[in-house]
Amino acid sequence: MKTLWAPWRMTYILSDKTHGCIFCDLPKKDKDRENLILYRSSHNFVIMNRYPYNNGHLMVVPYIHNSSLDGLSDEALLDFMKVTQHSIMSLKKAFMPEGFNIGINIGKIAGAGMEEHMHLHMVPRWAGDTSFMTVFDEVRVIPEHIMDTYDKLFTAFNL
């Protein structure tokens, strides 16, 4: 039998599972690195996905607690797209991906895990970034510790 080590998961397993909206609560804390917040603008912030599909998986999130794009003001919506653009450029600087999957799931039926607070997922992609592990073992291999990824991305976002 082969063993896959993921010791950082124990922090989550033992952590207090608070109720409420993480996208509302986390930006209010002064713990951006701990909460994986990479960047803040006037209406939105960028946070890394703690359980990524791929290395560098992040989310663009409005500060306003809203379930859809139609609840954002024109100013917040423009900022949302500008922050998305900045995120693409920052990921390119840090990791040189060959492409991106970018999407917004609105509504539970569309796959929204946090359906009450709209957010955009951005997953950098490289040729060959999926392997037999995903197909046969339903395991995804992330090649870098999440805090190392955070440090690289934080620098790229905030130059």
41-85 pLDDT, tens per residue? 999 999 999 888 889 999 999 999 999 999 899 999 999 999 999
Q: How confident is the model at residue 12 (pLDDT cuts 50, 70, 90)?
A: low
Which structural domain range is residue 95 located in?
20-157
Nearest-angstrom CA–CA distance, 118 and 19 = 17
Evaluated on CA atoms 25, 30, 112, 89, the torsion sign reads: positive
Catalytic residue among 43, 57, 86, 119: 119
pTM of the model: 0.83
* Residue at token pair 């569309």: 110
Is residue 5 a part of any domain in this protein? no
119 is catalytic: yes
pLDDT confidence bin for 98, thresholds 50/70/90? very high
Q: Is residue 66 part of a domain?
A: yes
- CATH number, position 76: 3.30.428.10
Note whether residue 93 is domain-resident. Answer: yes
Percent of the chain with pLDDT over 70: 82
Encode burial over 62-74: b for 16+ CB neighbours within 10 A, e otherwise: bbeeeeeeeebee
pLDDT tens for each residue of 75-92: 999 999 999 999 999 999
Question: Region 30-48: what's the mean pLDDT?
Answer: 97
pLDDT at 135: 46
In a domain, 7, yes or no: no
Distance (Å, rounded) from C-alpha 113 to C-alpha 48? 15
What's the domain count of the chain?
A: 1
Q: Is the predicted pLDDT of residue 137 greater than 60, yes or no?
A: no
Residue 13: band (very low, low, confident or very high) from pLDDT cuts 50, 70, 90 = low
